[in-house]
Amino acid sequence: MNKSMGSHSNRNLTPLWPWALALYARPGVQEALLQLQDEAGLDVCELLWGLWLLAHGRAPDAEADKQLSPIRQWQQHYTQTLRQLRRDLKPQAVGQPELEQMRTHIKQAELLGEREALRRLEALSSSLMSVPEPPDEKLLHPITGALSTGHQYLISHLRLESENMAPPSC
């Protein structure tokens, strides 16, 4: 049975940013996340947030689209714009140290944009619902939508990697 988490504070949750960095560093995670981003159009920050929620016995709810709208606008306006600039500059920067330095700065700004998105996503967590044990990746549907079998496999891989991390500290 679901119960509201509104009366609980976020102090029982491990902070999202270090958790996301730890998961991202696990074998195959970066590649899976980027494949889901590039092929399925999913947002890496939302996926990391969803996996973090599941690790804490929570999940995005049916109102996720409405709650995520301002964060998605942030991502589209800032983070995705920086990502596109960085990617566009990559071929031009080969063998050009000045352009590579510029690209590095854009990449740092993109990372700061993602960190801000994760901070905003984490702030949503106190109003989300707990889920029965064991939570599974089907609960990510509000942020992933329908996926191909190959993309569902990648989500399962990400879920397994997040479960293999050290348990969240409370």
Lowest model confidence (mean pLDDT) among 1-5, 15-19, 159-163: 1-5
pLDDT of amino acid 147? 86
Please report, for residues 14, 21, 117, the alpha-carbon distance to residue 36 in angstroms, rounded to integers and kept in the order given.
Answer: 25, 17, 18
Task: Tell which wins on pLDDT, 5 or 151.
Answer: 151
**pLDDT tens for each residue of 32-86:** 999 999 999 999 999 999 999 988 888 887 777 888 999 999 999 999 999 999 9
Q: Copy the structure tokens of residue 158.
A: 């990400």
- pLDDT over 70 percentage in the chain: 84
User: What is the distance between the alpha carbons of residues 124 and 132, in angstroms, rounded to a whole number?
Assistant: 20
Residue 22 has pLDDT above 60, yes or no: yes
Decide: 169 and 43 in contact? Cβ < 8 Å: no
Amino acid at 112: L
Question: At 166, is the pLDDT very low, low, confident or very high (cuts 50, 70, 90)?
Answer: low
The per-residue pLDDT for 8 is: 36
Nearest to 129 by CA among 58, 66, 46, 63: 58
Angle at 81 between CA 34 and CA 26, to 5 degrees: 25
Q: How far is CA 136 from CA 50, 72, 103, in A?
A: 11, 24, 38
Question: What pLDDT shows up at residue 6?
Answer: 35
DSSP codes joined into one string, 78-147: IIHHHHHHHHHHHHHHTT-HHHHHHHHHHHHHHHHHHHHHHHHHHHHGGGSEE-PSSP-GGGGHHHH-S-
Identify the pLDDT of residue 13. Answer: 74
pLDDT at residue 118 greater than cutoff 50: yes
Q: What is the pLDDT of residue 132?
A: 62
pLDDT at residue 2 greater than cutoff 50? no
Confidence of residue 14 (pLDDT cuts 50, 70, 90): confident
Domain boundaries, the chain: 10-163
Res. 5: pLDDT tops 50: no
